[in-house]
Amino acid sequence: MKPNAQTCTDQKITFFHAPQSRSGGTLALLEELGADYELRLVNFKQNEQRQPAYRAINPMGKVPAILHGGALITEQPAVFLYLADLYSQARLAPPPGDPLRGPYLRWLVFYGSSFEPAIVDRSQKRAPAPPMASPYGAWEDVLNTINQQLTQSPYLLGERFTAVDVLWGGALHWTTMFELVPETPAIRAYADRVITRPAMQRAAAKDAELFALQAA
């Protein structure tokens, strides 16, 4: 047995994924991490996410969800944090004590608690709640915060590519494509920098293949 074989077995993840959905970000992260995972497909066309079998795994009926050592992890920022820490050897997560740990947590959680609610309001063409009642305040502030950071550095944490960029690069790619986020030169260059990485491309190809398989 190779010295790292046991570690590899301990790190094996069960990943619940629906092709062409938000769980694509987790697929991309697993590829970036070189993770060992078993894929369990959820078929949205057959509404499997709402059936008792899947709800017994994630009562919210949402993907992504992962299982590891008997623990269920859901919610994209939590899934990203968990996986990047578990596969720390890939160095996509600044560890506690690293000066980048705070910004890393900030950008991951900002995604789920501010950006996602803002995007859903935009996609539903819903007026946002008054700034003091809205989880993201004002849409312009969300956009300015992202753009300001991306005009300063190639990645959200500066020169270093991390798991945060897997989440944000992919999301800014699809949200600009659907015209939910206005494309600025900084956002476009950033999304391109991220999505053209070999692991990201590998994940996109795998996802397209899985989508075609489910559609057949």
Ligand X SMILES: N[C@@H](CCC(=O)N[C@@H](CS)C(=O)NCC(=O)O)C(=O)O
Residues that bind ligand X (CB under 6 A): 21-22, 49, 61-64, 74-76, 112
Tell me whether residue 112 or residue 154 sits nearer to ligand X (CB atom). 112
Tell me whether residue 63 or residue 181 sits nearer to ligand X (CB atom). 63
Tell me whether residue 19 or residue 94 sits nearer to ligand X (CB atom). 19
**Minimum separation from the CB atom of position 6 to ligand X (A):** 31
**Minimum separation from the CB atom of position 168 to ligand X (A):** 13
- The residue type of 102 is G
Would residue 61 be called left, alpha or beta, if left means φ above 0 and alpha means ψ between -120 and 50 degrees?
Answer: left
Cβ contacts of residue 160 below 8 Å, gap of 6+? 94, 100
CA distance 193 to 92: 16
**Minimum separation from the CB atom of position 10 to ligand X (A):** 24
| DSSP type of residue 132 | T
Tell me whether residue 103 or residue 117 sits nearer to ligand X (CB atom). 117
How is residue 202 written in tokens? 């590998």
Residue 185: CA atoms inside 13 Å, Cβ hemisphere, count?
3
**Minimum separation from the CB atom of position 158 to ligand X (A):** 25
